[in-house]
């Protein structure tokens, strides 16, 4: 299987090259030339498989230039004792036709671990396969709205031949997310806050990736850039696995019948997590509707409903900070997927040029029709998000983080609006203890100024337990205090890498 760029279909690379490059030279994202099929028989067979075995079966369809031994070693190393549950994820039944897919049982307590525990293995194997980058140092740059940063740092810490720098919005992450990053251990890691929002971080990192002068300076030092954001196909592909795995578990446990369609509801900001669900659907997973849940920064809701993407709007800092995004990078992959001719692909370039220059574009009628056929979109405001957290805990003794609560709020709206009672799985993206002040407040209590005191109070109130990876950060020394203006990232990266 080969991969092409969303902005230049003449580019064709192997999966190893796509993983190493992260982003195509002209700024496009890599996508498979065609999506492989997952058959009903394969899904049935997965029922008795472990998570690594399921991951191997699915990912070998995408990483065809990897040997079976290389891929097996990668998935077995990625999904082992570093997760606190036997098979990496937990599928909880909230009530008869609503399930919660818990993706936060990895070492950083967020769904990003599902991909970022695997990406370093994919990247180190890829580096040995791509002749042009053999023996070169890989400098990984990552923008984060909270969870990707810590998961990437944890995945790449002390990985030979790599270094990683993470940039996060100074006022745009929770205290626990911030603490996880600034106390990160590892000799090859660097963390810096940015005076701006996530979009500022993401745009600056993308500009660095496509800066020819900086690339030349790196080459002189035998280095190259790569990414751990979901713009990297090696980050996105592993996310497809857990949706197919989830369906296999539902089938194996007798919750659904073979071929029965389900809905999948995903809280999303950068569109990567729900795009992985879309790819699973296109591969053959029986999915009825993909429910795209946004917070007050509801740009995706408006886009899916109208076909107009307009980031010229107020940016909101919310209790679900990982979704505080106005430029959803992975949307480019979806729109490209909806295009079939080279002529139409050129219009896509025009749309994203317009987004950069004017902050707005509008897709054609064909794309609009496909959007509304595949997706339902809604958003959940701050007060409703808090009400969901309290309501779900009161009714089911289930504690949700704010992002998962946004998803449930939108699902409830979808169900009421459409009357659709098809079994639905909600992606739970983070431990509630990563946002314990917001969760404690939603339960009607006043958080303490000390995040860890609030966590203790939340434990007593809900009879739940703070995950050990979060609890242990209390005793860790702060290592990173740097902060830069949004136009200072190039200077910071140059100084960090000494180029």
**What SS3 class is residue 305?**
helix
- Taking only Cα atoms into account, the Rg of the chain, rounded to an integer number of angstroms, comes to 21
- Extended strands (E) in 33-97: 90-95
Note whether 233 and 3 are within 8 A (CB). yes
What is the spatial distance between Cα 345 and Cα 9, in angstroms, rounded to a whole number? 8
- Number of CB atoms found within 10 A of residue 499's CB: 16
**Which has the closest alpha carbon to 273: 217, 343, 323?**
323
Q: What's the gap between Cα 295 and its chain centre?
A: 16
What is the spatial distance between Cα 108 and Cα 130, in angstroms, rounded to a whole number? 30
* Catalytic (active-site) positions: 112
Query: Could you tell me the two tokens for 187?
Result: 């000799």
- Number of CB atoms found within 10 A of residue 213's CB: 8
What is the spatial distance between Cα 20 and Cα 162, in angstroms, rounded to a whole number? 11
C-alpha separations of 402 from 368, 409, 414, 435, 443 in Å: 30, 10, 18, 7, 12
- Number of CB atoms found within 10 A of residue 383's CB: 9
Say if residue 8 is exposed, middle or buried (CB neighbours under 10 Å; 0-12, 13-18, 19+).
middle
DSSP structural state of residue 172? S
**What SS3 class is residue 375?**
strand
Q: Write down the H helix ranges in 253-320.
A: 272-283, 299-306
Note whether 88 and 51 are within 8 A (CB). yes
Q: Which residue has the tokens 């472990």?
A: 50
> Which residues, 6+ apart, have CB-to-CB distance to 373 below 8 Å?
none
**Which has the closest alpha carbon to 112: 268, 244, 264, 335?**
268
Query: Could you tell me the two tokens for 21?
Result: 């490059």
**Which has the closest alpha carbon to 377: 309, 303, 438, 430?**
303
Query: Could you tell me the two tokens for 385?
Result: 């998000």
H/E run at residue 287 = strand 287-294
What is the spatial distance between Cα 388 and Cα 412, in angstroms, rounded to a whole number? 10
């Amino acid at each position: 299987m080969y991969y092409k760029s969303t902005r230049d279909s003449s580019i064709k690379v192997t999966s190893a090259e796509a993983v190493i490059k992260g982003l195509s030279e002209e700024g496009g994202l890599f996508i498979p030339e065609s999506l492989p099929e997952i058959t009903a028989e394969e899904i049935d067979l997965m029922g008795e498989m472990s998570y690594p075995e399921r991951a191997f079966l699915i990912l070998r369809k995408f990483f065809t230039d990897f040997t079976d031994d290389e891929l097996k070693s990668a998935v077995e190393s990625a999904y082992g004792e570093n997760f606190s549950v036997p098979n990496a994820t937990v599928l909880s039944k909230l009530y008869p036709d609503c399930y919660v897919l818990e993706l936060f049982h990895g070492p950083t307590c967020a769904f990003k671990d599902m991909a970022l525990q695997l990406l370093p293995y994919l990247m180190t194997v890829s580096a040995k396969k791509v002749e042009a980058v053999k023996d070169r140092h890989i400098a990984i740059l990552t923008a984060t709205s909270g969870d990707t940063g810590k998961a990437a740092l944890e995945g790449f810490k002390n990985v030979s031949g790599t270094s990683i720098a993470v940039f996060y919005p100074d006022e745009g992450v929770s205290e626990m997310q911030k603490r996880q990053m600034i106390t990160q251990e590892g000799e090859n890691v660097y963390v810096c806050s940015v005076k701006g929002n996530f979009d500022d971080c993401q745009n600056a990192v993308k500009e660095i990736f496509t800066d020819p002068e900086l690339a030349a300076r790196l080459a002189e030092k035998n280095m190259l850039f790569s990414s751990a954001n979901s713009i990297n196909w090696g980050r996105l592909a592993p996310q497809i696995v857990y949706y197919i795995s989830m369906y296999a578990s539902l089938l194996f446990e007798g919750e659904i019948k073979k071929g029965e369609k389900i809905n999948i509801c995903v809280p999303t900001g950068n569109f990567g997590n729900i795009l992985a669900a879309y790819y699973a659907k296109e591969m053959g997973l029986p999915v009825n509707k993909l429910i795209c849940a946004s917070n007050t920064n509801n740009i995706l809701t408006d886009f899916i409903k109208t076909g107009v993407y307009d980031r010229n709007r107020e940016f909101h800092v919310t209790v679900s900070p990982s979704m505080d995004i106005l430029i959803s990078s992975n949307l480019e992959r979806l729109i490209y997927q909806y295009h079939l001719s080279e002529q139409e692909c050129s219009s896509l370039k025009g749309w994203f040029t317009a987004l950069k220059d004017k902050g707005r574009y509008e897709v054609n009628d064909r794309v609009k029709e496909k959007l509304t056929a595949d997706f339902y979109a809604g958003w959940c405001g701050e007060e409703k998000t808090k009400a969901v957290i309290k309501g779900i805990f009161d009714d089911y003794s289930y504690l949700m983080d704010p992002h998962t609560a946004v998803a449930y709020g939108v699902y409830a709206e979808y169900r009421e609006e459409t009357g659709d009672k098809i079994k639905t799985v909600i992606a739970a993206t983070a431990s509630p203890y990563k946002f314990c002040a917001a969760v404690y407040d939603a339960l009607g209590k006043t958080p303490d100024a000390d995040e860890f005191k609030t966590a203790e109070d939340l434990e007593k109130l809900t009879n739940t337990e703070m995950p050990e990876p979060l609890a242990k950060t209390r005793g860790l020394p702060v290592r990173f205090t740097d902060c830069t203006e949004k136009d200072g990232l190039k200077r910071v990266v140059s100084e960090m890498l000494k180029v």
